[in-house]
Amino acid sequence: MNPTITIPEQEVFDFIAAQPDDRNLNFRENYVTHEDDCGCLLIQFARSKGFKGELDCGWDAIHTEKETVAFSGEGEIRKLIWQIINMEHPSRPANYKELKAMLSK
C-alpha cells in the first residue's frame, strides 16, 4: 500500500484563487498519463505540487504511482468535487473563471 501524504484543503482553494481566469479545466480528465493533458482541478493541483507521471483522482484524493494525496479539513474539497461531478458535462466549469464564480455563490 502506498503512503499517504496529507495536504490542508485550504491549499487547493488558494491554488484556485491564484489561477488565471482563462486557464482551462477538464473534469472528465481525472486520470492522466501525460504532462500535457489538461486535467481536472485536482490533477492540475497535483502537478503544481510537483507530482508527475500517472495521476488518478476521485473526489477526495489523488493517487500517484508512489503515494496517495489526501486533504485535511472540513471536507469542502469533497463537497466541491462531488457537486461538479454531479453536474451535466456542458454545465461543469470549463475554466477557472467559471469555477471561481461557482465558489462565490
Q: If you average pLDDT over residues 54-74, what whole number do you get?
A: 88
Taking only the tens place, the pLDDT of each residue in 21-51 is: 999 999 888 888 878 788 899 999 999 999 8
Q: Give 51's DSSP letter.
A: -
Chain mean pLDDT for the chain:
90
Measured over the CA atoms of residue 33, residue 7, residue 68 and residue 42, the dihedral's sign is negative
Q: In this model, does residue 1 exceed pLDDT 70? A: no
Residue 92 pLDDT: 93
